[in-house]
Structure 1
Amino acid sequence: MSQRETATNQQPFLGVPSSQSAGGIPYLKSFLVVVVAILITSIISWQHAKIVQKGTQSHVSFPCGSFSVVSFPFVLRSTRVVTENGTFPASIFVDRNGLISRVVPGLVEDSSWGCLHDVGDLVIMPGLIDPHVHVNEPGTKSEGFNTATLAAAAGGTTLIFDMPLNSHPACTTYESILEKRRIANSRQLWVDVGLIGGMISGNLETLSDQIFRAGVVALKSFTIDSQAYDFPPVSIQEAEQVMRALRNLSIDGEIRYMIHAELASSKFSPNNYEGPSMSYMAFMRSRPDSFEVNAVQALIELSRKTHCPVYIVHISSADAAELVKQAKEEGIQIFAETCTQYLAFAADDIPDGHPEFKCVPPIRPNGNRKRLLRYLLQDNLFDLIASDHAPATPEEKCLEQGNVRMAYAGISGLQYRLPAVWTALRSYGVTFEQLSYWLSLSAARIFHVDDRKGRIASGMEADFVIWDPESLVNITENWCFHRHKKSAFLGKQYYGEVKETFLRGSRIFKSDAERGKLGTVLQYPRGIIIRNRLVEE
């Protein structure tokens, strides 16, 4: 840790020889008088500066200097601090353990606590949580724990949950989970990581307390061909068995069952459909709304029968969302996730030959997007907004050929979630508290980490994203920390620049926009593998 910088108005100490001649004493007295006068003048000027600046956006007492390395404890403050009780000027006291000691309304100046980091009018929100990220390590060259967590930090996200697809896909045995943890812990983790286990067809017998003891926080299944040969889908009957088993397991607390909800006929083949290979609309028609509607309807019935909650990932169809709305009104516990791309893009605007927009379920027409927005904003249907970050190499995405049919289905967008979502919603009068709920707090509650994540409150971990909602960001490859830079978000302009990200009080990212760079990672990685709160480390 660096030492606090010396105040700029402090005078340097001038040593005086220990032995002085009698004739030198008058000069010493004169010298001391001058030094005292200078000190008094400096103190008066400093106090005057405080009075003049009091009530303004920036204060100068006890600054953290460059703040490149945090000196604990410290005070972080802004005129816009987002809490469960609203957004208001506040000062956040962070202790030596990287925890929030207290949150005090107003812009206090408490020199006894530590250095002061005043960010003016920038918004301070809890660090974001993304429960749907494909790190894809080990097994592929498309991403990795180091680059994924680095991109997360640059996007204001301080906790990600890693999905099993393409990364030890089955991930249902004690040994495979321990191996995944070992690999993750051997990498530089810039943010915290939670591991999702895979639940595949025919492997119900592996569902036991043991895999959760290994640290899995949730399970994931497909009800349609995942295009991963060793991650076959579950049938609806198998999904019911899993849900009943989850209810009967002797786990003190609920393990979430996350499901990719599409149902197709047995003749369905992901890349075998009519239309030109470069046509996005031909691809979209190959994954119609009915696939989602059929799956969601079946899962709602299973939840009703088994009394087991179900978490439906990446809902893209407004028709499927309507079924979720009806189920929630009935009192059935359904967690509904939608994703950045379904709010930010519309199929009408996607040109042919651009496979970077291909994902499953597909991005649908603008009328569908507007309905999703209505369900989100008016009906409070969606519990959260995830990225479903699903990266691929340029070869896997068939970028050079523009072949949508054969391209890997997934969009790279972990780093862009905050600005893209904010830009899609800001004109609708969305509050910062709502945004924080969809991007952080709700996920913390669903996955049982709300005792330490997702809120700015006393006792919580000091995870923050500091961002400018009025600042425009041009998404370019130079502003990307993902391993592979090509993305559907490239070339877009969004409101909401992430300025700084903190993990347990350490600033892990700072924007460097004034120098034309993305930013600088300022702290050695401190991320950890998040385990179920009920499992002993």
Structure 2
Amino acid sequence: MSDAPLVLRSTRVSTPEGTRAATVAVDDGRITDVLPYEAYDRYASAPPDSARLADLGDDVLLPGLVDTHVHVNDPGRTEWEGFYTATRAAAAGGITTLLDMPLNSLPPTTDVANLRVKQDVARGKAHIDTGFWGGAIPGNAGELRALHAAGVYGFKCFLSPSGVDEFPQLDPDGLETALTEIAAFDGLLIVHAEDPDQLAAAPQRTGGRYADFLASRPRDAETDAITRLVDLAAKLDARVHILHLSAADALPLIASAQREGVRVTAETCPHFLTLTAEEVPDGATEFKCCPPIRERENQDALWQGLADGTISCVVSDHSPCTVDLKTPDFSSAWGGISSLQLGLPAVWTEARRRGHSLDDVARWMSAGPAALAGLGTKGAIAPGRDADFAVLAPEETFTVDAAELHHRNQVTAYAGRTLHGVVRSSWLRGLQITDHGQLLRKTGRLIERTTP
């Protein structure tokens, strides 16, 4: 038994083999051993010099969550969020690693110079480990290889308007050009998949009726775009990932493509799994996102897609804005759900009701996103992995008070909801960084994709 500087134990430790009582030994920020529960007593009886011992009782020790879909909006729209506030909220919610999306910041992350601007802004502000996606837009195919070499984890594109002028969509020819280039170095393209023609043909009405907004973003817009994307990925043998899947109608074609060896993966988001169109009040644009929150029966099918593995990740798509941009008109309000701090309890609340375990949640919210991004040292409580943890009291409940959240603008679709799962603490590389939602230290690093 090594002289580990940090030893934690719990009656419930979520490991890749399942939850069990265990002792976890940590040295130099990495997990060195996952030992029997009783091993902790031997450490406690003769602790090494400077040893730290943490007996977590019956609280669940989870791997730190990995959120690969966060809009930090910094620099340029820092009044919407920012690296300091976003990573603070993430840490309070059990997230220990996030990847920042390339748009809604100024400049967008579409070339190496812009990446360096963003990294310079983020440096010193990150409470958790923070990496970056690049962007694929019209005319920048020649920048993608250099961005890949500079350490971005992949490239995001839109197939329909993004909502900001500086990040235009790719048309079919532009998509093929970008994906051909990305496939040449076996990079990853992550895609906002809604078909612009379907959106243009849908009824567009102003006002506060949620039903009108839902009709403006039909399910066929997702399925048509995903069909085109999957066909192109098969043709080019390219890696593609479908962002924020909302329309469950697309699940059969994704599953079929996966069986046929097409390298396609998919994610969904807490709001699609926990909120339904039937419950969205008219005028409540804190619920607006694109693609939209859909009906209850669609939600049931998304959960089935998680259960059978067609969907491999649950990530926030945290896309905040200032309060004034959430006007009561669904046609003009900014579209985005703020949920960084609440994703784990929101998903766990619904997962437990449906008979899923915390091991399932850890797979969807930690291991899956880590695998997507190639974060080989994240995503599991296992020897050799980073000692990143979330400590959860899964039976405890709390009622969401937007004023107590750590992201910059206290707007959230979860306000007033009672959720199961209180995050007791978060740990990053063996250091406790939060205690009951309060930040203890800021030790996050800027991380980059590395070639094995």
TM-score higher than 0.5 = yes
Kept after mapping to 1: 8 A contact 2:83/2:122: yes
Find the aligned partners of 1:203 and 1:479 in 2 and give their Cα distance. Answer: 41
Match of 1:268 in 2: 200
Q: Which runs of 5+ in 2 are unaligned?
A: none
- Higher RCO (C-alpha 8 Å, min separation 6): 2
Q: Deviations over 1:439-470 (max 9, x none)?
A: 011111221112x1111111211100000110
For residue 267 of structure 1, report the CA deviation from its aligned partner. Answer: 8.2
Match of 2:36 in 1: 105
For residue 183 of structure 1, report the CA deviation from its aligned partner. Answer: 0.9
Find the aligned partners of 1:168 and 1:273 in 2 and give their Cα distance. Answer: 32
Match of 1:224 in 2: 160
Residue 267 to residue 341, structure 1, CA distance change in 2 (3 Å): closer
Instruction: For 1:112-511, list aligned pairs within 5 A.
Output: 112-113=47-48, 114-140=51-77, 141-168=79-106, 170-185=108-123, 187-208=124-145, 210-249=146-185, 254-265=186-197, 268=200, 273-377=203-307, 379-398=308-327, 402-450=328-376, 452-511=377-436
Find the aligned partners of 1:198 and 1:169 in 2 and give their Cα distance. Answer: 11
For residue 247 of structure 1, report the CA deviation from its aligned partner. Answer: 2.1
Find the aligned partners of 1:439 and 1:304 in 2 and give their Cα distance. Answer: 27
Find the aligned partners of 1:463 and 1:190 in 2 and give their Cα distance. Answer: 13
Residue among 429, 432, 445 paired with 1:528: 445
Kept after mapping to 2: 8 A contact 1:338/1:385: yes
Find the aligned partners of 1:217 and 1:439 in 2 and give their Cα distance. Answer: 17
Kept after mapping to 2: 8 A contact 1:129/1:159: yes
Off by >3 Å, runs of 4+ in structure 1? 272-276
Query: Counterpart of 1:508 in structure 2: which amino acid?
Result: I
Instruction: For 1:31-110, list aligned pairs within 5 A.
Output: 73-95=5-27, 97-108=28-39, 109=41, 110=43
Q: Deviations over 1:86-135 (max 9, x none)?
A: 1111011112x222121102232113342321011100011000000000
SS at match of 2:91: helix
For residue 258 of structure 1, report the CA deviation from its aligned partner. Answer: 0.4
For residue 169 of structure 1, report the CA deviation from its aligned partner. Answer: 5.5
Q: Deviations over 1:180-230 (max 9, x none)?
A: 111111x4210011101111012222222x222322111100000111011
Q: Which runs of 5+ in 1 are unaligned?
A: 1-71, 512-518
Query: Counterpart of 2:179 in structure 1: which amino acid?
Result: M
Kept after mapping to 2: 8 A contact 1:143/1:392: yes
For residue 246 of structure 1, report the CA deviation from its aligned partner. Answer: 1.6
Query: Counterpart of 1:373 in structure 2: which amino acid?
Result: W
Query: Counterpart of 2:358 in structure 1: which amino acid?
Result: F
Find the aligned partners of 1:290 and 1:81 in 2 and give their Cα distance. Answer: 42
For residue 473 of structure 1, report the CA deviation from its aligned partner. Answer: 1.6
Find the aligned partners of 2:158 and 2:199 in 1 and give their Cα distance. Answer: 17
Residue 276 to residue 449, structure 1, CA distance change in 2 (3 Å): closer
SS at match of 2:191: strand
Find the aligned partners of 1:478 and 1:397 in 2 and give their Cα distance. Answer: 16
Kept after mapping to 1: 8 A contact 2:286/2:412: yes
Larger C-alpha radius of gyration, 1 or 2? 1
Query: Counterpart of 1:73 in structure 2: which amino acid?
Result: P
Residue 274 to residue 261, structure 1, CA distance change in 2 (3 Å): closer
Query: Counterpart of 1:456 in structure 2: which amino acid?
Result: I
Find the aligned partners of 2:37 and 2:106 in 1 and give their Cα distance. Answer: 49
Residue 490 to residue 449, structure 1, CA distance change in 2 (3 Å): same
For residue 380 of structure 1, report the CA deviation from its aligned partner. Answer: 1.7
SS at match of 1:160: strand
Worse-matched range after superposition: 235-244 or 143-152: 235-244
Find the aligned partners of 2:203 and 2:140 in 1 and give their Cα distance. Answer: 31
Kept after mapping to 2: 8 A contact 1:169/1:231: no
Kept after mapping to 1: 8 A contact 2:198/2:221: no
Cα root mean square deviation, aligned = 1.7
* Sequence identity percentage: 38
For residue 396 of structure 1, report the CA deviation from its aligned partner. Answer: 1.1
Find the aligned partners of 1:115 and 1:362 in 2 and give their Cα distance. Answer: 46
Query: Counterpart of 2:351 in structure 1: which amino acid?
Result: L
Query: Counterpart of 1:303 in structure 2: which amino acid?
Result: A
Find the aligned partners of 1:291 and 1:230 in 2 and give their Cα distance. Answer: 23
Find the aligned partners of 2:167 and 2:198 in 1 and give their Cα distance. Answer: 17
Q: Deviations over 1:477-503 (max 9, x none)?
A: 243001001110111111011000000
SS at match of 1:414: coil
Residue 304 to residue 520, structure 1, CA distance change in 2 (3 Å): same
Find the aligned partners of 1:188 and 1:180 in 2 and give their Cα distance. Answer: 12
For residue 332 of structure 1, report the CA deviation from its aligned partner. Answer: 1.3
Find the aligned partners of 1:261 and 1:485 in 2 and give their Cα distance. Answer: 29
